[in-house]
Chain A
Amino acid sequence: MSNKAVETISEATVLFAGDSGDGMQVAGTQFTLATAHAMNDLATLPDFPAEIRAPAGTTYGVSGYQLKFGSTDVRTPGDEVDLLVAMNPAALVVNLERVRIGGTILVNINSFNQKGFKLANIESNPLEDGSLDKYRVISVELTRLTRETLADSDLTRKEIDRSKNMFALGLALWMYSRPIKPAEDWLSTKFEKNEPIKNANLLLLRKGYHFGETTEQFAFRYEVNPADLSPGKYRAIQGITALAMGLVAASQKSGLNIFYGSYPITPASDLLHALSRYKNYGVITMQTEDEIAAIGAAIGASFGGNLGVTGTSGPGLALKTEAANLALIAELPLVIINVMRGGPSTGLPTKTEQSDLLQAMYGRNGDSPLPVIASSTPGDCFETAYEACRIAVKYMTPVILLVDGYLANGAQPWLIPEADSLPDFDVKFAARRKSSENGEDAFLPYLRDEQTQARPWATPGTPGLEHRIGGLEKENISGNVSYEPDNHQLMTDLRAEKVERVKAEHTPLKIFGEDSGDLLIIGWGSTKGSIEAAVAKARNGGLSVGAVHLRFLNPLTDELAEIAARYKKWLVPELNNGQLVKILRDRFLLDMTALNKVQGMPFRASEISEKISEMIG
């Protein structure tokens, strides 16, 4: 149908930006879905303010959704933007520095007026003062075209103006030859019960698409060929969805019911939302009165033989600290998911950071080690959530799963795993017996498994296993309250040893790049993509660099010592002020270099590249 020229490119980065009420997250998500359908590889970066509807037109109210897609491996949401869709002057001002020189800027010309400039704190019209000379600017009358399209509709002016994101989405889909059907299907389901809104949105989406075809502003459109993905069945997945699915999969494979206790907190609330829809999988979700109640209820459920899970973000993890230690000393399985945001205190609620690692490792009273693992991609959220559940049950311990905020919101194409390929997850409850205490047949709640050091999981309702647990130190084996000095030493050592035994769950580290050489980069969490992009670039430039990415932050793999010994220098990039690097230096006694960024945004690959050059270039 297209009569315009098509230019094939290997990758592109698009950023939708507008007011927090402009529907930019929706436009971005739908563009992502269409891109997934076009079988490109992709990575996304939603970036929005903490305010729900910040004053319109202001710079602090700007909400953005960036994605990079391509026919080759896409590891990051893109260092530089090829197309910026700016719904108003503020969105342009805030994001201009991200656009590559020569990139395209599509603006809603109707919002470029004196009022808009004043709100964006600019003196003159950037479209006229030459400040955009280095870019290709496309001015579209988005507001007017939207109103014109919907002139015959019964919608209010406010409703009409709010729909202009669909026009912009339609146009962007056309510009990159994306299919329009996924967005049409989504709108049809979403507004199933509101015919006028549904029809208006569908009409605008198509108008936007056709506008690209007809207007003379576009001489050609782009096309990105399908990526060379491994064969199989795919779906687009967000980190949060993957977490929820990982938990439910763990429930299905183990036969344990999930009990999820949570108190609303950005950006973890979406996990509560997702799990609350899985009722037909027997999932119990409970929105509690506070963070402490959320973990308390999960502990109660675990005591009862369910898989207790609680989710939160940094400040909430701080509140859960005491209860986490109860689960630790009572040796009950529990999964604590921390979707990390900028701190300290309330910090930057909607921005990403990795600054809760030390809190997860050490933020409890007493000597209180527990397994800490981290997800590295949206898809990896599935595997790590499953793994956290499995370890919690197998070793009878709380496990903290750290998820960078931007992974939780970010999306990627995900090769759907076969249910049979998931690791075995068998659960052994202590079996009923005739008498509970005082005698040869006495039940011993702290008699440990030789291999894992885990104590038995004896749940109320089982005859003969009546026993008491709690926060007071217990005598090993018998489980009676004990203040004996030697026993406390023994129990402290046993709790540490139990976490050490989790090393049996480690899989060999995969080295990306050179497996020995001048520089080893050690990363964790969401920085994987940026690190690998930088390593690939450095190797192309002839540098000898390798990278490993850690899923287990505690216990650390012994293998890392042996791998690190094969390199001359070590670099640890983190979205915090230097946390994993402290742990690694302490553990391996190596003079590791830190690369830190705490700006609420992920690393650009170029930032890591620069550091590589500085160290070994």
Chain B
Amino acid sequence: MPPADKALPKMPPGMKKPAGKRPAEPGSGEPVSLPVIDEGPSKLTRADFTSDQDVRWCPGCGDYVVLATVQRLMPEFDVPKENVVFISGIGCSSRFPYYMKTYGMHSIHGRAPTIATGLKASRPELDVWIVTGDGDSLSIGGNHIIHLMRRNVNLQILMFNNQIYGLTKGQYSPTSEVGKITKSTPFGSIDHPFNPIALVLGAEATFVARTMDRDPKHMREMIIEAHDHPGTGFLEIYQNCNIFNDGAFFEYTEKATKAASTVEIEHGKPLVYDNGNKGLRLDGFRIESIDLTNGKWSVDDCLVYDETNRDLAGIICRVFWSKDLPQPFGVFYREQRETYEETLHNQIESVIKKVGKGTIEELLHAGDTWLVE
């Protein structure tokens, strides 16, 4: 890993800032010298990011919350509006770019990561977002998702997971549970589902997080984290499809059950849930739930989460479809690694430095030549 203070190569204006260096808000904490405010972006509001197109998702769809959260957040990012690009594939969530008043492309099924990679690699100053779903990114686009992760292209990917195919009207998806009854599986699905977090961790992702549509505050934080990560920020969003898979995540999202069935993972903090009544501890390589009320265990026994530990992320993300353990939400893993486009352009610059910038004359006359009189 490069040292934290390693100077990043010079990038054009609008290039995303490295994580942890968001400008401090005036009045918060220690006095800071106010940065010179660029008039452009600071004046923008949600309306500046809302296109004139009618939103055509079903009433009650979880997608609305994500859209509203992103539209509200955009003015807060220190990015010129014209540098923002949303790229999507196919599916309900992939209609997202039409509703953003930014540059955008609603592309073809599963291929958004390829288009976003080509765009970001050739235009590093742009702020590129991928919006995708569980079918788009994990089925037809599965190959591209894993390669996006290992390359660490500096963009963020919002993966709406509703565990169903919505736009094709209700077939099981690669994240649907075994036994799921759908139009294409009248006797129950027999496919074992993907664990998306484990998948991208295995693909060398540098930022991995999960949030849910019913907690806009948490979602907002996670989107900021994913956006500010200098590398591919992967965010899985549990999203309710109220037409074809209503209530898939209610256990985690509804008030009555949320506290006991979810745990928020935060770097440097003990894993405590159920309003402080329960915690998670490591027993060897296994996670176990402990009761903090009976005097046997205390918060000190709980696992203190370390988001820079890939092995730990690998263990905690396996809490998946478990009856006895709470579903984790938050940042699973974060790593600083040089981005694809930085390395790419550094290499080009180093070659130019070494051999000089090519001209068309040199191009044509290179190699062995001879004259015919």
Residues of A within 8 A of B (CB): 33, 36-37, 39, 182, 185, 226, 229-236, 245, 248-249, 252-253, 257, 259, 261, 278-282, 284, 286, 288-290, 292-306, 308, 322-323, 326, 330, 416-417, 419, 436-438, 460-472, 480-481
A284-B344 contact given A245-B363, A257-B122, A460-B123, CB 8 Å threshold:
yes
Q: Does B39 contact A (CB under 8 A)?
A: no
A284 touches B348 (CB 8 A): yes
Q: Is B201 an interface residue (CB 8 A)?
A: no
Residue contact B364 to A468, C-beta cutoff 8 Å: no
Chain A contacts for B24, CB-based, 8 A: none
Shortest CB-to-CB span from B154 to chain A, Å, is 14
Known: A249-B363, A286-B118. A461 touches B143 (CB 8 A): no
Binds A, one of B58-66, B77-85, B209-217, B267-275: B77-85
Across the interface, do A304 and B123 meet the contact criterion of CB distance under 8 Å?
A: yes
Contact A252 B53, beta carbon cutoff 8 Å = no
A461 contacts B371, C-beta separation under 8 Å: no
Name A's interface SS.
mixed
- Interface-forming stretch among B183-191, B306-314, B352-360? B352-360
Taking CB atoms, residues of chain A closer than 8 Å to B354 are 280
B204 CB-CB contact with A under 8 Å: no
Q: A232-B372, A460-B123, A468-B97 are in contact. Are A297 and B114 (CB under 8 A)?
A: yes
Q: A293-B143, A419-B360 are in contact. Are A461 and B82 (CB under 8 A)?
A: yes
Q: List 7 A-B contacts (CB under 8 A).
A: A235-B365, A259-B118, A284-B344, A292-B144, A301-B122, A470-B98, A471-B90
**Pairwise interchain contact A460-B82, C-beta atoms closer than 8 A:** yes
Which residues on the A side are within 8 Å of B119 (C-beta)? Answer: 300-301, 303-304, 460
Q: Which of A231, A261, A462 contacts B372 (CB 8 A)?
A: A231
* B82–A300 touching, CB < 8 Å: no
Are A286 and B121 in contact (CB-based, < 8 A)?
yes
Contact string against A for B residues 73-117, beta-carbon threshold 8 Å, 1 for contact and 0 otherwise: 000000011111101001000000110111111111001011111
The answer on a CB contact under 8 Å between A416 and B105 is no
State how many angstroms separate the Cβ of B329 from the closest Cβ of chain A.
30
- Closest Cβ–Cβ distance, residue A306 to chain B (whole Å): 5
A294 to B308, CA, bound (A): 32
- Minimum C-beta distance from B59 to chain A (A): 20
CA distance A394 to B8 in the complex (A): 37
Q: Pick the contact of B104 from A232, A308, A468 — CB < 8 Å?
A: A468
Confirm or deny: B68 has a beta carbon within 8 angstroms of a beta carbon on chain A.
Answer: no
Tell me if B147 counts as interface (CB < 8 A to partner A): yes
A281 touching B363 by the CB < 8 A rule? yes
Q: Annotate B168-189 by CB proximity to A: 1 below 8 A, 0 otherwise.
A: 0000000000000000000000
> Which of B107, B122, B144, B360 has the most chain A CB atoms closer than 10 A to its own CB?
B122
Pick the contact of B118 from A300, A322, A419, A466 — CB < 8 Å?
Answer: A300
- B348 to A282, Cβ gap below 8 A? yes
- Asked if B45 is at the interface (CB within 8 A of a chain A CB), the reply is no
A470 engages B97 (CB within 8 Å): yes
The 3 A-B residue pairs whose C-beta atoms are closest, nearest first, are A296-B114, A300-B118, A470-B106
Closest to A418 in B: B364
Known: A226-B372, A416-B369, A465-B82. 10 other contacts (CB 8 A): A235-B367, A249-B360, A249-B364, A281-B358, A284-B348, A293-B111, A301-B119, A468-B105, A470-B98, A470-B106
Given contact pairs A233-B371, A437-B51, A416 touches B85 in the complex (Cβ within 8 A): no
Q: With the chains together, A81 CA to B360 CA distance in Å?
A: 39
The answer to whether residues A308 and B118 also contact, given A37-B368, A466-B82 and a CB cut-off of 8 A, is yes
Chain B residues with CB under 8 A of A259:
118, 121-122
Bound: A138/B239 CA distance, A: 79
Q: Please name all residues of chain A whose beta carbon is closer than 8 Å to the beta carbon of B369 when the two chains form the complex.
A: 233-235, 416
Chain B residues, CB < 8 A from A468? 51, 97-98, 100, 103-106
B351 contacts the other chain (Cβ, under 8 Å)?
A: yes
What is the size, in residues, of chain B's interface with A at 8 Å between Cβ atoms? 64
Bound CA span A293–B105, Å: 16
Q: Chain B residues near A416: list those with CB within 8 A.
A: 364-365, 369
User: Does B251 belong to the interface (CB within 8 Å)?
Assistant: no
Report whether A182 and B105 are in contact in the complex, using a CB–CB cutoff of 8 Å: no
User: Could you say which residues of chain B place their CB within 8 Å of the CB of A302?
Assistant: 118
Which residues of chain B have C-beta atoms less than 8 A from A417's C-beta? 364
Given known contacts A330-B105, A416-B365, A300 and B122 CB-to-CB distance under 8 angstroms: yes
- A308 partner residues in chain B, CB cutoff 8 A: 118
Does B288 have its Cβ within 8 Å of any Cβ on chain A? Answer: no
Question: A300 with B115: in contact, given A234-B370, A461-B83 (CB under 8 Å)?
Answer: yes
Shortest B372–chain A CB gap in Å is 5
Contacts of B81 in A (CB 8 A): 463, 466
**Beta-carbon contact of B348 and A279 below 8 Å:** yes
Q: For the complex, what is the distance from the CA of A465 to the CA of B85, rounded to whole Å?
A: 12
**B125 on the A face (CB < 8 A):** yes
A-B contact number at CB 8 A: 214
Interface residue from A36, A245, A462 paired with B82 (Cβ < 8 Å): A462
Measured in the bound complex, the distance between the Cα atoms of B118 and A295 in whole Å is: 9
How far is it, in angstroms, between the C-alpha of A465 and the C-alpha of B87 when the chains are bound? 16
Q: Give the contacting residue for B107; candidates A279, A288, A470; CB below 8 A.
A: A470
Does B347 lie at the interface of the complex (its beta carbon under 8 Å from any beta carbon of A)? yes
- B126 part of interface (Cβ distance < 8 Å): yes
Closest to B355 in A: A280
Known: A230-B372, A232-B371, A281-B358. A326 touches B121 (CB 8 A): no
Instruction: Using A463-B82, A466-B102 as known contacts, say yes or no to A284 and B365 having CB atoms under 8 A apart.
Output: no
Instruction: Output the least CB separation between B41 and chain A (Å).
Output: 11
Tell me which residues across on chain A come within 8 A of B368, comparing CB atoms. 33, 36-37, 182, 185, 235-236
The answer to whether B108 touches A326 (Cβ under 8 A) is: yes
Selected contact of B103 from candidates A236, A278, A323, A460, CB within 8 Å? A460
Please determine whether A292 and B357 come into contact, CB atoms closer than 8 angstroms. no
Q: A232-B372, A293-B147, A419-B364 are in contact. Are A278 and B358 (CB under 8 A)?
A: yes
Residues of chain B with a CB closer than 8 A to A245's CB: 363-364
CB distance from B286 to the nearest CB of A (A): 35
A261-B106 contact, Cβ under 8 Å, with A182-B368, A280-B357? no
- Of A229, A284, A481, the residue contacting B98 (CB under 8 A) is A481
The reply on B283 being an interface residue by CB < 8 A is no
CA distance A290 to B143 in the complex (A): 8
The distance in angstroms between the C-alpha atoms of A259 and B118, with both chains bound, is 8
Residues of A within 8 A of B103 (CB): 460, 465-468
CB-contact partner of B85 in A322, A326, A460, under 8 A = A460
- Closest Cβ–Cβ distance, residue B211 to chain A (whole Å): 25
- Assess A231 versus B144: contact at CB under 8 Å? Given A182-B368, A252-B359, A297-B115: no
Residues of A within 8 A of B83 (CB): 460-461
- B38 interface residue (CB < 8 Å to A): no
Q: A231 to B107, Cβ gap below 8 A?
A: no
Q: Which residue from B104, B117, B348, B370 sits with its C-beta under 8 Å from A233?
A: B370
Contact between chains at B101 and A279 (CB < 8 Å):
no
Knowing A252-B363, A297-B115 are in contact, say whether A461-B123 is a contact too (CB < 8 A).
yes
Quote the shortest CB–CB distance from A319 to chain B (angstroms). Answer: 11
**B122 contacts A284, C-beta separation under 8 Å:** yes
User: Distance in Å from the Cβ of B332 to the closest Cβ of chain A?
Assistant: 24
* Cβ contacts under 8 Å, A249 to chain B: 360, 363-364
Query: Interface digits, B33-45 against A, CB 8 Å rule (1 contact, 0 not)?
Result: 0000000000000
Q: Which of A226, A234, A297, A436 has the most CB of B within 10 A?
A: A297
A259–B122 CA distance with the chains assembled, in angstroms: 7
Q: In this assembly, does B361 line the interface, its C-beta being within 8 Å of a C-beta of chain A?
A: yes
- Bound form: Cα–Cα A235–B369 in Å: 5
Q: Are A301 and B118 touching (Cβ within 8 A)?
A: yes
Q: Which residues of B contact A261 (CB under 8 A)?
A: 118
Task: Report how far A253 CA is from B363 CA in the complex, Å.
Answer: 12
**Is the CB of B52 closer than 8 A to any CB of chain A?**
yes
CA distance A424 to B98 in the complex (A): 37
Cβ A288 vs Cβ B115 within 8 A? no
Return chain B residues, CB-CB under 8 Å to A39. Answer: 370, 372
Kindly report which residue of chain A lies nearest to residue B351, judged by CB atoms: A279
List chain A residues, Cβ under 8 A from B82.
460-466
